[in-house]
Amino acid sequence: MKFWSGVVTEKVRESKDFYVRLFGCEVLFEGEGDWFVLLQLGEGEIGFMKPNMPSQPSIFRPAFQGQGLWVAVDVDDVDAAYARIQSLGVPIEMPPRDEPWGDRHFVVVDPNGIGVDVVQHRQGAA
């Protein structure tokens, strides 16, 4: 078993472009007409689907409203990831910082308003 998540959004193509460009996600499936895309990064997967798809149960039809969700991307070198993403001209929501539990991270926002926490887990955390 494994978890994977999906976001119902009008911004399927923009979401795909964001995650592929910033993190090198692989496109596992892309529906014709941009109705759905499934991305993979390492062992994790995330999907983006257009709202109000008649083929979907009603629970999966309303669009995400832009609050109460985050995505985390684990990296080996957060400062290198920060420099690369910043060089792409992507706005940074929170610059790199160290946390008391040992993580170092920064935050960007995807096209849906989802905070993307780019995290380096460091050994020897307090």
Pull the structure tokens for residue 3: 């978890």
Residue 79 lies in a domain: yes
Other CB atoms within 10 Å distance of the CB of residue 107: 17
Instruction: Indicate yes or no: pTM above 0.85.
Output: yes
Do residues 88 and 43 share a domain?
no
**Helix (H) or strand (E) run with residue 78 in it:** helix 78-87
Q: What is the pLDDT of residues 36-71, one digit of tens each?
A: 999 999 999 999 999 999 999 999 999 999 899 999
Q: What is the pLDDT of residues 1-50, one digit of tens each?
A: 889 999 999 999 999 999 999 999 999 999 999 999 999 999 999 999 99
Residue 38 lies in a domain: yes
CATH of the domain at 47: 3.30.720.120
